[in-house]
Amino acid sequence: MFDETDQLSVNALRALSIDMIERAGSGHPGLPLDAAPMAYVLYSRHLRVDPQDPEWINRDRFVLSAGHGSALLYSMLHLSGFATSLADLKQFRQLHSKTPGHPERGIVAGVDATTGPLGQGLAMAVGMAMAETHLAAQFNTPQQQVIDHFTYVMCGDGDLMEGISHEAASLAGNLKLNKLIVLYDSNDVSLDGATARTFSDDAQQRFAGYHWDYQKVAAGNDLAAIDAAITAAKATAAPSLIEIKTTIGYGAPKQGTHLVHGAPLGQVDLAATKRNLGWQEAPFTVPAAVQQRFQTQVQQRGHQAHQQWQADLATYQQTQPALAAQLHQALTQELPVDWQADLPQYTLGAGEAGRQTSQKVIQALAAKIPSFWGGAADLASSNKTDIAASGSFSATTRQARNLNFGVREFAEAAAMNGIALHGGTHVFGGTFFVFSDYMRGAIRLAALQHLPVTYIFTHDSLAVGEDGPTHEPVEQLMSLRAMPGISVIRPADPNEAVAAWRLAMTTNDRPTVLVLTRQQLAVLQGSLSQPDGVSRGGYVIAPQQHGTAEGILIASGSEVALAIEAQQRLRKFGHDVKVVSMPCFDRFMQQPVAYREKVLPRQIRRRVSLELGTTLGWERFVGLDGLSLGIESFGASGPAAEVLADYGFTADAVVAAYQKLW
């Protein structure tokens, strides 16, 4: 089944990869040299992709979890007829090139996920496989499988050392994601040396514990054995791990050692490697037979599959017009025209916890938007994330829309990324705000990939109370605001919470973080009269009484009501201040200067900020002449009201702080 041209093709991938790395003067030759055979078998015999339409929804997904092996992927994309040109390969790791150091989704056509931070690729793939099986359950009929593809991962020892690999694999096993297939490049070497020094897991036993299918390929260059293993993996009822034993840097003089992991081989070793591989072409040159082979085996095979799918889809559109219309809506991420129809509205006098408002919004959205789904990390009952009208997504109930991620926050966030990368749904996920720390690596990759996922972080401050400092967020709010490319919203009342959800649903280019209370929030007059306040990021929620304000109180979330209370007390002392609600720093900074100046006039310097979190960052709005009331230490265990008073969050304390400004 494999001939000499196939072997030559494998070596073409190797040669191109090391040429790229040598030219760039940096990169990782170890993986491309050892994993080229498995990559070749996958792309040439199994992976169903159409280089002419890299975003074909029913393509097989491929995630290079060991993202440092990017040169191999780019070589593959080039030879397979994706947009990556030879010129691009020569620009490897150069500024503004189409071949960055690690695979970047959106920069390189054919890259299904941005990878590099180890372990996350595997977890994103789990999310992709979840999305696939969910969409398949929604849209396939006994006659027609419009969504029916595999998700492949290539990972290394480092990926499997990371904790997220456990969370992801355990979840995938529980969900029986049988169309997830992981090729494990098991080369026993990582950056610092032989993995045995620190890593001696028996992968077979470990993954048996997760109820995965496991196969071992003893020789990483054995194309037929790899092919047979992938073929077998496609037929199992469980996710599959194929452990393929390889020699890192295969062919290089220093093969089998960490010296070939992460730096160019150097001209001498490069030449020796090519000799060892029997490779005789000039740099960046590939024989015509190899080019032809990739054209036939990847490009044409994939394009034909895509054409067949399109023909099937046309039939589907005729036989299942309602489903086809819904599928179209799901894939284009269009919201139904009436998507906001059932959103709750609040009037003065009412009040509820942020998480409760969110719960109502979720029900209203779920009723109108069939592609809306999500869940929590074993905190659905606390985060109020359950869609009451649906069941739990599981191995036997693929259509259900409540995702039970288990106590696995990091994999939750990474799987959400995978779900969003896959396309076809709107996904949300919750946990306690303090545990957003566990997810940070994946939130960052959501932002970097411009993924419109929504995080529901409840229990947003010291008002958590009795659970104490391990469960009380302090620095999380400012720490997330510091991250590029995300929108962080902390609503002050039920109306702001609904508005925040609206923004999340209409934001397509970035993740949205909703920071919600467990405790009651009263409806505020100012949020009623200014429905666009949240979308502006910050707005005057309670103006001064006369003319120009003497000072400004600025707050977010539950502290806005406290600011308004303090405003009223300050009047008794003759201080006429205005109150600004600032639910979202990032959106406020995107407003025109004139608007920002109107809200926070430059000449008014008596400013006090109030927030149950670190003050660092609030100086953006209070400057050198104002001051910030916040939390500069960790919280404490006790009834919420006592904790808040103990930390100085009372109207009297705000009044006293304001009066210090003289």
35 in Cβ contact with 223 (< 8 Å): no
For its own copies, the binding residue among 200, 318, 396, 508 (CB under 8 A) is: 200
Please state the closest distance from residue 511 (CB atom) to its own copies, in A: 13
For its own copies, the binding residue among 445, 489, 505, 654 (CB under 8 A) is: 445
Contact segment (CB under 8 A) with its own copies among 363-371, 444-452, 524-532, 590-598 equals 444-452
104 carries an active-site annotation: no
Contact segment (CB under 8 A) with its own copies among 42-50, 224-232, 295-303, 406-414 equals 406-414
Asked if residue 438 binds its own copies (CB under 8 A), the reply is yes
Please identify, using beta-carbon distances, which residue of 162 and 559 lies nearer to its own copies: 162
Please identify, using beta-carbon distances, which residue of 18 and 327 lies nearer to its own copies: 18
Please state the closest distance from residue 567 (CB atom) to its own copies, in A: 21
Asked if residue 3 binds its own copies (CB under 8 A), the reply is no
Please state the closest distance from residue 628 (CB atom) to its own copies, in A: 9
303 in Cβ contact with 49 (< 8 Å): no
How far from 408 is each of 129, 169, 170, 412, CA to CA, in Å?
17, 11, 10, 6
For residues 176 and 237, give the distance between their C-alpha atoms in angstroms, rounded to a whole number: 7
Please identify, using beta-carbon distances, which residue of 40 and 92 lies nearer to its own copies: 92
Please identify, using beta-carbon distances, which residue of 190 and 299 lies nearer to its own copies: 190
Buried residues in 619-632 as b, exposed as e (16+ CB within 10 A): eebbeeebbbbbbe
42 in Cβ contact with 6 (< 8 Å): no
* DSSP per-residue codes, 516-547: --SSEEEPPHHHHH-TTTGGGS-EEEE--SSS
Please state the closest distance from residue 204 (CB atom) to its own copies, in A: 7
In the sheet with 539-542, reading across from the earlier edge strand, the strands are 539-542, 577-581, 551-555, 607-610, 627-629
CA 250, 255, 258: angle at the middle one, nearest 5? 120
For its own copies, the binding residue among 54, 351, 423, 441 (CB under 8 A) is: 441
Helix, coil or strand: residue 243: strand
User: One symbol per residue from 104 to 143: x for binding its own copies (CB under 8 A), - otherwise; what is it?
Assistant: x---------xxxxxx------------------------
> Could you tell me which of 416, 456, 381 has the C-alpha nearest to residue 171?
416
For residues 410 and 31, give the distance between their C-alpha atoms in angstroms, rounded to a whole number: 26
Residues numbered 8 to 37 that lie near its own copies (CB under 8 A) are 24, 26-27
Please identify, using beta-carbon distances, which residue of 125 and 445 lies nearer to its own copies: 445
Residues numbered 562 to 591 that lie near its own copies (CB under 8 A) are 585
For residues 430 and 378, give the distance between their C-alpha atoms in angstroms, rounded to a whole number: 9
Asked if residue 431 binds its own copies (CB under 8 A), the reply is no
Asked if residue 184 binds its own copies (CB under 8 A), the reply is no
Please state the closest distance from residue 412 (CB atom) to its own copies, in A: 11
Asked if residue 182 binds its own copies (CB under 8 A), the reply is no
Asked if residue 616 binds its own copies (CB under 8 A), the reply is yes
Asked if residue 660 binds its own copies (CB under 8 A), the reply is no
For residues 581 and 564, give the distance between their C-alpha atoms in angstroms, rounded to a whole number: 10
For residues 325 and 331, give the distance between their C-alpha atoms in angstroms, rounded to a whole number: 10
Please state the closest distance from residue 602 (CB atom) to its own copies, in A: 7
554 in Cβ contact with 542 (< 8 Å): no
Asked if residue 206 binds its own copies (CB under 8 A), the reply is yes
| The one catalytic residue among 409, 472, 496, 611 | 409
Asked if residue 378 binds its own copies (CB under 8 A), the reply is yes
Please state the closest distance from residue 438 (CB atom) to its own copies, in A: 5
For its own copies, the binding residue among 467, 520, 529, 568 (CB under 8 A) is: 467
Asked if residue 41 binds its own copies (CB under 8 A), the reply is no
For its own copies, the binding residue among 171, 182, 324, 362 (CB under 8 A) is: 171
> Could you tell me which of 583, 601, 459, 589 has the C-alpha nearest to residue 527?
583
Point out which residues pair with 581 in neighbouring strands: 539, 555
Please identify, using beta-carbon distances, which residue of 57 and 599 lies nearer to its own copies: 599
For residues 188 and 147, give the distance between their C-alpha atoms in angstroms, rounded to a whole number: 37
Asked if residue 254 binds its own copies (CB under 8 A), the reply is no
Residues 6+ apart with CB under 8 A from 300: none
For its own copies, the binding residue among 127, 158, 537, 583 (CB under 8 A) is: 158
For its own copies, the binding residue among 3, 623, 652, 659 (CB under 8 A) is: 623
For residues 469 and 467, give the distance between their C-alpha atoms in angstroms, rounded to a whole number: 7
Residues numbered 514 to 573 that lie near its own copies (CB under 8 A) are none
Residues with catalytic annotation? Answer: 409
